[in-house]
Amino acid sequence: MLERGIYQHYKGQLYQVFSVATHSETEEKLVVYQCLYGDYSLWVRPLSMFTEQVTLEDGKTVPRFNLIQKTAI
């Protein structure tokens, strides 16, 4: 399961992951997270997309989000 904590997006911004929720109709797993910049809005993204690898322009493959600090909440 996905760890709660502070994640860095491959483009540099930070986000706090709170939980993984389940969609009521499809049962798809969704990550509930918050921007740690700007308006600090809440977002959801499919778990499969949150944890996927992305390919950069130089051909290097990196995680879309990388855990940088675990949190208890």
Here the CATH number for the domain that contains residue 8 is 2.30.30.320
CA angle 23, 29, 30 (to 5 degrees): 80
**Is the residue at 73 inside a domain?**
no
Q: Which residues of the chain have pLDDT under 70?
A: 73
* Gap between the terminal Cα atoms of the chain: 15
For the chain, the domain total comes to 1
**Residue 20 is part of which domain span?**
3-68
Longest distance between any two alpha carbons in the chain, whole Å:
39
pLDDT digits (tens, 9 = 90+) for 1-20: 899 999 999 999 999 999 99
Residue 36: its pLDDT value, please?
98
Whole-structure pTM over 0.85, yes or no? Answer: yes
